[in-house]
Chains A and B, each alone.
Chain A
Amino acid sequence: MQTRRMANVYKQYWRINILTTLEYRENFLIWFLFTFIYHGTAIASLWIVLERFPSMNGWSFRDMFFLYALWMVAHALHNTFFSTVGEIPDHIRDGEFDRLLVRPLDTLFQAIATPGQVFPDELVLALITFVAATLYSGVHVDAIFIIFVPLIVIGGALIDLGLNLIISTAAFWFVKVDALRWIFIQLEQEFTRYPLSIYSRGVRLLLTFVFPFAFMNYFPAAYFLHKNEVVMGVPPAAGLLAPLIGIVFVAAAYAFWRFGLNRYQGVGH
């Protein structure tokens, strides 16, 4: 019963999103261009650097493009379905969040299904990029690749969601979490662009075991590209565990969310 109601709400949520996007078509085009240029300049930077220095710790531009594309799909999948989690701190600050508490549906689900201007354009762009990167990098597409890539991408999106949820939960205690979010987004977006093996011990540890961004793209890419790198005692094949890591990380984040929600007293409106 509960599930059916949620499915219904979720369907309406996407209907409203798509109608809103169609209503503001010019805005949509500008923001699409924005997404395109963002990833375009990132990939162009890698190309320019690797054109001059052909090897980054043994990774060529082809490898790095694949590394980026794998992160891009997972990140776009997260942005398409869960970017609304990042808006929870705003709802808490202006008191809107308290309304969700009195409604008879799961609070987090309601927060996720708050309509905005969400459109799967980044995801489409990411999928095209990923197909191009796979063909270009010459990765061997076999049964393991076809079965595991979708799972790894979902795992990556869950890792992203876990981080997003942890930061949003912090808003129960600190009203402004923008600075925190900003630093972590930077950590994720810029540090996942390069092979983990170039970093010093502390950062490898952080990106493998604390905030497991390395499982979004580095370990799986190292596996598919047949890299012989063992970082922090973790072999590339561990990249296939990304879906599991994603589930564990998001479960931990959800436990933290429940903990915060139970102690939440409102911001005094």
Chain B
Amino acid sequence: MAREATYRFDVFTTVGSFVVRVYLLRMVWTALYAHNAAPKDLSRHEIITYSTVALLMGIVMDIDQTRALHDKLHDGSIATDFMKPIIVPLYFFADGTGEVLFHAALLVPSVLIALLIFHIIVPAPAVLAAFLLSFLLGYLVGFFLNFILNLTSFWTLEISAVQLIVTWLTDLLGGELIPLILFPAVLQTFIYVLPFAAMFSTPLLIYVGQIPPSRYAEVMGLQVGWIVVLGLISTVMWRAGARRVVVQGG
């Protein structure tokens, strides 16, 4: 019941805020392209497509899928989960999956609006397929990054502020707001070393054709690399954290 109410709230805010933000970014890019020399290989229509698809991705990417872990550590109910005959980390993964699927469903009206009202560019089927695969990999990078944040609740309970901070840094340094290829050269050198680019920038640059098919293997390999690294970190943290709970609960 409580969740159902949250869902209704989500439909309204998600689709409503999507439309408002697409409007805003169209106005911003239009004003910028009208008064300046445009980048050679990224037209106004392409950059608006880029930002619109970024917002669509955000609808699914911004979910806190392992939130239950943080909540259960807060109220202590995690202790009983360890007694149940379940694989606990998998349980947290599954718990948030419903919300992910719900948001994936919200993509349907949002994508329709993007196509029919805002007329975004649709690439060739092969490029689209590569984009979807890279998006999935990007989602997993984001999932593990978020899981690591929630895992820190084993040690410190106040993580909401830190989570929001990471979200903003991801939005900016991951290329969700502004394509990373437009960043000043000084910043370009270090943003690609961070995992954020693997979340948004890689799939988006594939979508608008800035990353050619010849580089697909390389960029997606890097995404897989991040999944492995972050996956390992979260495994180590999970083990250490779970041991802590057992010790404390003795």
The chain A residues found within 8 Å of chain B, CB to CB, are 26-27, 30-31, 33-34, 37-38, 41, 44-45, 48-49, 51-58, 176, 178-179, 182-183, 186-187, 190-191, 194, 198-200, 203
B192 contacts chain A at the CB level, 8 A cutoff: no
Supply 17 A–B pairs (Cβ within 8 Å), ascending by A.
A30-B158, A33-B165, A37-B168, A38-B164, A41-B169, A45-B172, A45-B177, A48-B184, A48-B187, A51-B184, A56-B32, A57-B35, A183-B13, A186-B21, A190-B21, A194-B31, A198-B31
Q: Which of B31, B158, B178 contacts A48 (CB 8 A)?
A: B178
Q: A48-B184, A183-B16, A186-B20 are in contact. List 6 more A-B contacts (CB 8 A).
A: A27-B158, A30-B161, A48-B178, A53-B33, A198-B27, A203-B27
Q: Are B13 and A34 in contact (CB under 8 A)?
A: no
Contact among B9, B31, B168, B172 with A179 in the assembled complex (CB-CB below 8 Å): B9
**B217 CB–A CB distance under 8 Å:** no
Chain B positions within 8 Å of A49 at CB level: 28, 32, 178, 182
Interface of B: prevailing SS = helix
Known: A45-B172, A178-B9, A179-B13. A34 touches B158 (CB 8 A): no
From B28, B30, B33, B169, residue with most partner A Cβ within 10 Å? B28
Say how far A188's CB is from chain B's closest CB, in angstroms. Answer: 12
Chain A residues whose CB sits within 8 angstroms of the CB of B27 once the complex forms: 194, 198-200, 203
Q: Are A41's CB and B172's CB within 8 A?
A: yes
- Residues in chain B near residue A203, CB distance under 8 A: 23, 27
A26 and B158 contact, CB distance less than 8 A = yes
Q: Which residue of B lies closest to A36 (CB)?
A: B165
Query: CA–CA, A182 to B6, complex, Å?
Result: 14
Q: Which of A31, A41, A48, A52 contacts B161 (CB 8 A)?
A: A31
CB neighbours (8 Å) of B168 from chain A are: 37-38, 41
A186 and B17 contacting across the interface, CB-CB below 8 Å: yes
Would you call the interface of chain A mostly helix, strand, loop, or mixed?
helix
Query: What residues of chain A lie closer than 8 Å to B12, measured between beta carbons?
Result: 179
| In the complex, per-residue mask of B28-68: 1 if CB is within 8 Å of any chain A CB, else 0 | 10111111100100000000000000000000000000000
Take A37-B165, A176-B5, A190-B24 as given contacts and tell me if A54 and B36 are in contact as well, using a CB distance cutoff of 8 Å.
yes
Question: Does B162 sit within 8 A of A, measured CB to CB?
Answer: yes
Q: How far is the CA of A190 from the CA of B169 in the complex (A)?
A: 17
Q: Is B91 an interface residue (CB 8 A)?
A: no
User: Are B158 and A187 interface neighbours, CB within 8 A?
Assistant: no
- Looking across the interface, which residue of chain A has its beta carbon closest to that of B34? A57
Query: Which residues on A sit within 8 Å (CB–CB) of B165?
Result: 33-34, 37
Question: A187 contacts which chain B residues (CB < 8 A)?
Answer: 20
Q: What residues of chain A lie closer than 8 Å to B182, measured between beta carbons?
A: 48-49, 52
Known: A45-B177, A49-B178, A179-B9. A34 touches B164 (CB 8 A): yes
Collect the chain B residues with CB atoms within 8 Å of residue A31's CB.
161
Q: Which of B173-220 contact A (CB under 8 A)?
A: 177-178, 182-184, 187
Contact A194 B28, CB 8 Å, known A37-B169, A182-B13: yes
Q: What residues of chain B lie closer than 8 Å to A190, measured between beta carbons? A: 21, 24
B39 CB contacts on chain A under 8 angstroms: 52
Q: Which residue of A54, A178, A191, A198 has the most chain B CB atoms within 10 A of its CB atom?
A: A198
Q: Give CA–CA (A9, B102) in the complex, Å.
A: 47
List of B residues within 8 angstroms of A199 by Cβ: 27
